[in-house]
Amino acid sequence: MVNPDPFWLCVIFIVGASVGSFVNVVILRLPRGESLANPPSHCPVCGKTLSFFDMIPVLSYVALRGKCRHCGCRISPMYPLVESFMGILFLYLGYRYGLTLLFFRQAVLLGLLLAVTVIDIREMLIPDELVLSGAVFWVSFLALSKVLSAWVQGPLKLLCEFPVFTKAAAEATFHATTDRVGAGLLGPPTCSEDLIGDLARGLLGGALGFLVFLAISLVTRGMGGGDVKLAGMCGLYLGPALTILAVFIAFVSGGVVAALLLLSGKARAKSHIPYGPFIALGAAISSLWGEQIILWYLARLLP
Ligand SMILES: [Zn+2]
């Protein structure tokens, strides 16, 4: 194991937190149909444009003690929370995958899921743009992995030896893991050399997620079209086996939270509870630890 260099750990955290600060912009502006680039970041209360020093992830919030420099209004703790979450996530993904395509693929998926979660809680909607960009990224990563696999000994190897991360872990996860869970078409599509296999696994997972939630929304009428599309997009990244696990986690976590809200009197039987966060949670857990969970379960089931 390469000793993690504190300098590079800080760099990765800062890059992740900066991505988190873009996720904040998406959360704030996408539901209102505003441009993500213009106008530059400003205080939502007094409208003053923020300077560079007001926009340093996490640190600015701490330095300003959570208040706008100009009007003194409270800045939502959502900003530093999303930024720190993405920073820590980048460190974990780096540790897990090394600086490989899988790292970027997981970062994109989990960043999108975080945006979906916060937007659905705040606005009770899941923007089509997020679901669509998830699908476009999925196709792009498949194409990119095919192109890059021609030079595995070249640029990708170099990425694996990036000083922050363990090289062995990176190489182990880079090579296809599809024969570990559900050999063949059931496993998750990874960024492997097997383009047709990844494509088939992803499309099967996407169709499964989409159809399961379509059936539920037709029966219960409690779930929106956004949830159905989101489940389909997640299935693309997960493949069939991990999609089933994600659906299961979404149901259990959604049921537990709904029961707690009902019991505590915070929600009534008729009130609408956003379902996107539970689909996102199921997909996130399943994409990160799904294979281990399924293998653990199968080992207990089959003596
Ligand atoms: Zn202000």
CA angle 179, 108, 223 (to 5 degrees): 90
Reported confidence tier of residue 176, pLDDT bands at 50, 70, 90:
very low
Could you tell me the pTM of the whole model? 0.87
Q: What's phi and psi for 125, nearest 5 deg?
A: -150, 155
Before 39, cis peptide (omega within 30)? yes
Residues 8, 150, single domain; the answer is no
Reported confidence tier of residue 164, pLDDT bands at 50, 70, 90:
very low
Task: Mark which of 96, 113, 132 sits at the end of a domain.
Answer: 96
Residues 127, 244, single domain; the answer is yes
Q: In angstroms, what is the span from residue 60 Cα to ligand 1's centroid?
A: 14
Residues 133, 258, single domain; the answer is yes
Q: In angstroms, what is the span from residue 11 Cα to ligand 1's centroid?
A: 30
Q: Does residue 87 carry a pLDDT above 70?
A: yes
Residues 65, 109, single domain; the answer is no
Q: Residue 206: in which H helix or E strand, if any? A: helix 195-220
Amino acid symbol at 282: G
**CA atoms of 25 and 78, how far apart (whole Å):** 11
Q: String of b and e for 251-268 (b: at least 16 CB within 10 Å)?
A: bebbeeebeeeeeeeebe
- The token pair that represents 201 in the structure block: 């696994």
Task: Mark which of 79, 96, 113 sits at the end of a domain.
Answer: 96
Residues 184, 155, single domain; the answer is yes
Q: In angstroms, what is the span from residue 70 Cα to ligand 1's centroid?
A: 5
CA-to-CA dists, residue 9 to 112, 164, 203, 207, 223, angstroms: 23, 7, 36, 38, 41
Percent of the chain with pLDDT over 90: 46
Per DSSP, the three-state class of 202 is helix
Task: Mark which of 63, 96, 129 sits at the end of a domain.
Answer: 96
Residues 91, 143, single domain; the answer is no
Reported confidence tier of residue 17, pLDDT bands at 50, 70, 90:
very high
User: Looking at residue 300, what is its pLDDT?
Assistant: 81
User: Looking at residue 166, what is its pLDDT?
Assistant: 46
Residues 89, 112, single domain; the answer is no
Residues 92, 203, single domain; the answer is no
Q: In angstroms, what is the span from residue 26 Cα to ligand 1's centroid?
A: 20
Instruction: Write the pLDDT tens digit of every residue in 110-129.
Output: 999 999 999 999 999 999 99
Q: In angstroms, what is the span from residue 67 Cα to ligand 1's centroid?
A: 8
Do residues 26 and 36 make contact, with C-beta atoms less than 8 angstroms apart? yes
Q: In angstroms, what is the span from residue 29 Cα to ligand 1's centroid?
A: 17
Question: Looking at the DSSP assignment, which residues form a beta bridge with residue 134?
Answer: none
Residues 214, 81, single domain; the answer is no
Q: Does residue 55 carry a pLDDT above 90?
A: no
**CA atoms of 92 and 86, how far apart (whole Å):** 10
Instruction: Write the pLDDT tens digit of every residue in 192-248.
Output: 667 788 888 899 999 999 999 999 888 887 678 899 999 999 999 999 989 999 999
Domain encompassing residue 249: 98-303
Residues 69, 107, single domain; the answer is no
Q: In angstroms, what is the span from residue 44 Cα to ligand 1's centroid?
A: 7
Q: In angstroms, what is the span from residue 239 Cα to ligand 1's centroid?
A: 46
Residues 132, 25, single domain; the answer is no
**CA atoms of 245 and 50, how far apart (whole Å):** 43
Residues with CB under 5 A from ligand 1 (ion): 43, 45-46, 68, 70-71, 73
Residues 87, 114, single domain; the answer is no
Q: Does residue 1 carry a pLDDT above 50?
A: no
Q: How many domains does the chain have?
A: 2
Q: Does residue 154 carry a pLDDT above 70?
A: no
